């Protein structure tokens, strides 16, 4: 601490007298827009310099935000946490639970067949396919949390659409309430009204749906119905947008990368059962599928960063940071940096394969190298069968990326789409299983392709595509069509 620089010297946008920095987000001029926080993070990365940190200070009603752009620094901060680390609650959510609806929440903090019916005559999915993904995610987490089907995938899905509307209202309001001038503390702004109405409607739906089954029913027996309802609200609130966005991005990445798609389908053809229910043991045989999801969440994570409120004074990237500051770990930036992931914009799932995953059905081992004459050397006998085709299909690039990635390694704190430690995403395992099942069945049954331009993304605060998800689904084998529901 004695050798650290004063916090005031940490780079960041300069706050104005009285107005602080909230005015930047209130005006919404580039790069300070709540719907384009990815651009905001790259701007802060530029200010921080290589391996440094930047801050956004003097936000009305909000502690100073500190952004360390270094995986080693991220690891150090996470590992110095107390037994029960403190992840700051958004002031607007704290206001809703502990003030506006305190009478309900009290002191509790809370915590593939349909596709076939959707395609048109050209085998394209509809423009609102993202909504169908939301419904799928809602149905999945609802069955787990509440122990009953919500009916989201039925034709008469009015309540499902109402739940999704509430979730969107909540998420779209949060960035405006949190980063812009907090006028909602003085009077009910439009964003505030949308926010409260969405949460109220969502809370009533959860109360009505709570049954004697599922995870929440077990909680109800121990801690009471109110606690179980709050848990259901939290699980459904955070488990729909995020999982749907991850599924959409992974489908897009694979649809626009034929090499990776073909590699995945070879794995699925070999190990995915079609005559019985898929089990966790079946999913364990699909390392390339898991690598595809990891690579997608590296390039397009559903949440741009996660954070902590530090409980004591700390030194971060050489600067004194006072107790109470919020540290935001911008893993979206780090996972797209060359120093952590060579050729970061290239979709190369192979970079995530471990040595013990590489056998006759894996694509490549990163130790493959070339002599000066261009002769492949170092390939191990057991991977020659599948690696030849990959190397012949423009994948010298894949070999080079894997070799470089092996040299630098994968820093365990450079890509954290689910967070880390005791406060990591509560639904991580469930979300991973959801994604693996959906993607495995989809790409096993269909050749998924994309005929439009590159997707652009907005922050809502979930990182989601802007354009309609009009994927083309071409059945791979007719005899598979009747085997999936």
Supply the range of the domain harboring residue 389. 349-408
418, two tokens: 């689910």
Residue 191 and residue 228 in one domain: yes
Q: Respond yes or no on whether the N-terminal peptide bond of residue 99 is cis (omega within 30° of 0).
A: no
103 within domain boundaries? no
CA distances from 274 to 430, 440, 482 (A): 22, 11, 10
Residue 169 and residue 261 in one domain: yes
**What's the DSSP call for residue 98?**
I
Residue 426 and residue 403 in one domain: no
CB 431 within 8 A of CB 424: no
98 within domain boundaries? no
Q: Which of 408, 430, 450 lies at the terminal end of a domain, its last residue?
A: 408
CA distances from 269 to 181, 227, 330, 388, 464 (A): 54, 44, 37, 19, 30
pLDDT at 352: 94
223, two tokens: 């801690």
C-beta neighbour count of 195 within 10 angstroms: 26
Residue 254 and residue 130 in one domain: yes
pLDDT at 82: 57
- What is the rounded CA–CA span in Å between residue 122 and residue 43? 42
Domain count, the chain: 3
- What is the rounded CA–CA span in Å between residue 447 and residue 327? 43
CA distances from 327 to 317, 324, 374 (A): 12, 9, 48
**What would you measure as the largest C-alpha separation in the chain, in angstroms?**
76
415 within domain boundaries? no
Reported as type and span, the H/E element at residue 447 is strand 446-449
> CATH number, domain at 73?
3.30.43.20
Residue 73 and residue 122 in one domain: no
Using a 10 angstrom Cβ sphere, with 0-12 exposed, 13-18 middle and 19 or more buried, the burial of residue 208 is exposed
Instruction: Please enumerate in sequence order all residues whose Cβ is within 8 A of that of 55, keeping only pairs 6 or more positions apart, or say none.
Output: 7, 10, 11, 12, 64, 65, 66, 67
CA distances from 148 to 232, 334, 421, 477 (A): 12, 40, 31, 33
Residue 263 and residue 124 in one domain: yes
**Spans in the chain with pLDDT lower than 50:** 83-84, 109-111, 356, 358-393, 479-485
**Inter-axis angle of helices 129-146 and 241-255, to 10 degrees?**
130
**Reduced to 3 states, what is the DSSP secondary structure of residue 82?**
coil
318 within domain boundaries? yes
24 within domain boundaries? yes
Residue 130 and residue 265 in one domain: yes
Residue 187 and residue 237 in one domain: yes
CB 346 within 8 A of CB 397: yes
**Inter-axis angle of helices 129-146 and 214-223, to 10 degrees?**
40
DSSP secondary structure of 361-418: TS---TT-EE-TT--EES--GGGHHHHHHHHHTTTHHHHHHHHHHHHH---TTT--TT
Residues 139-165: tens digit of each pLDDT: 887 777 777 677 777 766 777 778 778
**Reduced to 3 states, what is the DSSP secondary structure of residue 313?**
coil
Residue 376 and residue 257 in one domain: no
Q: Which of 387, 408, 429 lies at the terminal end of a domain, its last residue?
A: 408
> CATH number, domain at 435?
1.10.630.10
414 within domain boundaries? no
Residues 115-137: tens digit of each pLDDT: 877 888 888 998 888 888 888 88
**Residues listed for the chain:** 485
Q: Which of 385, 408, 431 lies at the terminal end of a domain, its last residue?
A: 408
Residue 124 and residue 261 in one domain: yes
- What is the rounded CA–CA span in Å between residue 316 and residue 74? 9
- Beta-bridge partners for 56: 65
Residue 443 and residue 399 in one domain: no
**Confidence (pTM):** 0.77
97 within domain boundaries? no
Residue 355 and residue 236 in one domain: no
47 within domain boundaries? yes
């Amino acid at each position: 601490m004695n050798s650290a620089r004063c916090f005031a010297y940490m780079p960041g946008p300069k706050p104005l007298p009285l107005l602080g920095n909230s005015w930047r987000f209130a005006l919404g001029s580039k790069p300070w827009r709540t719907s384009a926080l990815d651009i905001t993070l790259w701007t802060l990365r530029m200010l921080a310099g290589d391996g440094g940190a930047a801050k956004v200070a003097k936000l009305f009603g909000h502690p100073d935000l500190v952004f360390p752009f270094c995986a080693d620094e991220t690891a150090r901060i996470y590992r110095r946490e107390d037994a029960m680390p403190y992840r700051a609650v958004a002031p607007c959510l704290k206001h809703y639970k502990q003030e506006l609806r305190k009478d309900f929440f009290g002191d509790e903090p809370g915590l593939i067949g349909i596709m076939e019916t959707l395609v048109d005559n050209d085998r394209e999915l509809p423009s609102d396919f993202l909504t169908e993904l939301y419904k799928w995610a809602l149905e999945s987490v609802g069955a787990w949390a509440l122990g009953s089907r919500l009916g989201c995938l039925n034709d008469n899905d009015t309540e499902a659409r109402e739940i999704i509307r509430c979730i969107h209202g909540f998420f779209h309001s949060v960035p405006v309430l949190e980063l812009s001038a907090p006028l909602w503390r003085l009077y009910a702004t439009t964003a505030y009204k949308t926010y409260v109405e969405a949460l109220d409607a969502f809370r009533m739906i959860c109360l009505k749906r709570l049954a004697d089954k599922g995870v929440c029913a077990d909680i109800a027996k121990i801690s009471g119905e109110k606690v179980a309802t709050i848990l259901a609200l939290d699980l459904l609130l955070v488990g729909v947008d995020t999982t749907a966005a991850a599924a959409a991005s992974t489908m897009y990445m694979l649809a626009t990368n034929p090499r990776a798609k073909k590699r995945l389908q070879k794995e699925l053809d070999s190990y995915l059962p079609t005559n019985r229910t898929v089990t966790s043991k079946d999913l364990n045989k699909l390392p390339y599928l898991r690598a595809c999801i990891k690579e997608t969440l590296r390039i397009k994570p559903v949440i741009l960063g996660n954070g902590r409120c530090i409980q004591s004074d700390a030194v971060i990237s050489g600067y004194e940071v006072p107790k109470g500051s919020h540290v935001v770990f911008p893993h979206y930036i780090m996972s797209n940096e060359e120093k952590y992931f060579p050729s970061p914009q290239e979709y190369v799932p192979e970079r995530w394969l471990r040595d013990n995953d590489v056998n006759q059905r894996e694509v490549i081992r990163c130790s493959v190298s070339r002599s000066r004459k261009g002769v492949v050397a170092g390939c191990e006998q057991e991977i020659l069968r599948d690696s030849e085709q990959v190397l012949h299909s423009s994948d010298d690039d894949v070999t080079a990326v894997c070799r470089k990635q092996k040299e630098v390694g994968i820093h365990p704190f450079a890509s954290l789409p689910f967070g880390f430690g005791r406060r990591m995403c509560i639904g991580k395992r469930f979300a991973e299983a959801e994604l693996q099942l959906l993607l495995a069945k989809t790409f096993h049954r269909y050749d998924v392709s994309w005929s439009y331009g590159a997707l652009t993304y907005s922050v809502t605060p979930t990182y989601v595509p802007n354009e309609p998800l009009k994927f083309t689904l071409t059945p791979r084998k007719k005899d598979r069509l009747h085997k999936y529901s």
